[in-house]
Structure 1
Amino acid sequence: MLILGLMTTSANALSIRLTDGGANTVTIGDNGVGDMNPLAGAVTYIGGVGSFIANVSTGISYPILGSPAYPWLDLSSIDVTSGSGGTNKLYIYLTDTGFTGAFSSFAATIGGTTGGTIKYSTYFDAANAAFAMNTLLTEELYGGPAFSDVNIASALGLDGPYSLTQAIEITHTGLAASSFDAELAPVPEPGTFLLLGAGLMGLAVYGRRRART
């Protein structure tokens, strides 16, 4: 049982990475050095990266959200640059490995505010490598002050285990702030909707019978 437990906890490699594209890079694994979140399945970085002087970034995956059979990533962040001028970039990546569920399409959802621009990209990797960005799922650029969107992409050829990666590129000029929440999860199949509908109908019938008695 101990060996099984160790295999279960080490099957995924949830990690978050923040970089300005140069010498300033921070990579933190779940429950690793620098992770401010003690929960398994959640990793949080708090601190500065280059000209982005204040960042609070959190990535969540299984066992909190989803499972290996149902991949579900959520990345949220608040990021602020100083007023030193010039154009500055921050790249935020969230990755996890060991997913096994085969789905025909994925939905990339995002919403937030920005004093500059935010580009949101999602990737999968059939080789199951962390931070691998070989196969693009979705990509979209957003401007402020507020934005929200959902993009759906085909994921044909997924045969686990595989990895998923969310990538955010923030561009600020001078003093600015951005905040967002981005999610990547499978699009439910039609059969899932039918099961959900049948369950809701069953609850409605049960409720009516109880009301009559």
Structure 2
Amino acid sequence: MRRTTGGLAVIALILALMTTSAHALSIRLTDGGVNTVTIADNGLGDANPAAGAVTYIGDIGAFTTNVSTGLSHPVLGSLAYPSLDLGSINVSSGGGTNKLYIYLTDTGFTGVFPTFAASIGGTTGGTVKYSTYLDADDAAFALSTLLTEELYGGPVFSDVNTAVAPELEAPYSLTEALEITHTGLADTSFNAELAPVPEPGTFLLLGTGFLGLAIYSRRRARV
């Protein structure tokens, strides 16, 4: 009887650790009013069954067509090396000026890096504001510490911005925020990524690895 109780206690502990260590990859789309949808990875409304990928397909107010996919670990990066990637296609059909806000967030990152890079590229029939945030309290969708922010016009845009992460401590969360503004019928498509900037030592290790691989391949070719 004691063994059974002990076994159940171990199982309960393992399940608890699994629950607390799970990351909170989520995507949110809103027009700033009553039309808002928030979808967690593998949660209700997620059109992508893969762990580390969340996809929303549907309408948000005047934006009648939206296909948005967010990626994080284990698809991209890891807890020790964070990487968020948000790709989206958005079409508006309503009259007047309409806005759509898209957020991608994930929590529990542990890798400490001095600098982050926010890259984006796409097309738009309006404007796109791309902002990235870090939160030392590790909260989802938290916009406490601004890393980068830039406003882009169409028809084509592409850019990379870097920012120093102030007094970064683990764990922390990262959030990408996109604000799309359309007037009447218009469309926007983009891909935005947020990831650390590798330190010079990392580049040296990568270079040494590639050199070793090249030498090994050449030796094998001679045999």
1:24-39 maps to which residues of 2 (within 5 A)? 24-39=35-50
Q: Give the partner amino acid of 1:59.
A: G
Which secondary structure state, in structure 1, belongs to the residue aligned with residue 174 of structure 2? strand
Q: Does residue 128 of structure 1 match 2:138?
A: yes
Q: Does residue 108 of structure 1 match 2:115?
A: no
Q: Does residue 187 of structure 1 match 2:200?
A: no
Q: 2:23 aligns with which of 12, 20, 25?
A: 12
Q: 1:172 aligns with which of 160, 166, 182?
A: 182
Which secondary structure state, in structure 2, belongs to the residue aligned with residue 59 of structure 1? strand
More helix as a share of residues = 2
Which secondary structure state, in structure 1, belongs to the residue aligned with residue 134 of structure 2? strand
1:188-207 maps to which residues of 2 (within 5 A)? 188-207=198-217
Q: Give the partner amino acid of 1:103.
A: F
State the Cα deviation string for residues 102-141 of structure 1 (Å, max 9, x = none). Answer: 0000110111110000010000000000000010000011
Q: Does residue 62 of structure 1 match 2:70?
A: no
Residue number in structure 2 paired with 1:23: 34
State the Cα deviation string for residues 26-60 of structure 1 (Å, max 9, x = none). Answer: 11111111111111111111110010011001111
Residue number in structure 1 paired with 2:6: none
Residue number in structure 1 paired with 2:129: 119
Q: How far apart are the structure 1 equivalents of 2:15 and 2:71?
A: 20
Q: Give the partner amino acid of 2:187.
A: A
Deviation at 1:4, TM superposition (A): 4.1
Residue number in structure 1 paired with 2:84: 73
- What are structure 2's unaligned runs of at least 5 residues? 1-9
CA RMSD of aligned residues (A): 1.5
Change (3 A) 1:77 1:7: farther
Larger Rg: 2
Q: Does residue 42 of structure 1 match 2:42?
A: no
In terms of mean alpha carbon deviation, does 167-176 or 29-38 score higher? 29-38
Which secondary structure state, in structure 2, belongs to the residue aligned with residue 68 of structure 1? coil
Which secondary structure state, in structure 1, belongs to the residue aligned with residue 211 of structure 2? helix
Q: Give the partner amino acid of 2:195.
A: A
Deviation at 1:157, TM superposition (A): 1.1
State the Cα deviation string for residues 54-113 of structure 1 (Å, max 9, x = none). Answer: 10011111111111111110101000000x321100000000000010000011011111
Q: Give the partner amino acid of 2:179.
A: E
TM-score, with structure 2 as normaliser: 0.91
Q: How far apart are the structure 2 equivalents of 1:44 and 1:212?
A: 49
Residue number in structure 1 paired with 2:221: 211
Deviation at 1:11, TM superposition (A): 2.3
Q: Give the partner amino acid of 1:129.
A: A
Q: Give the partner amino acid of 2:180.
A: I
Q: How far apart are the structure 1 equivalents of 2:184 and 2:89?
A: 16
Q: Does residue 155 of structure 1 match 2:165?
A: yes
Q: How far apart are the structure 1 equivalents of 2:36 and 2:127?
A: 20
Which secondary structure state, in structure 1, belongs to the residue aligned with residue 166 of structure 2? coil
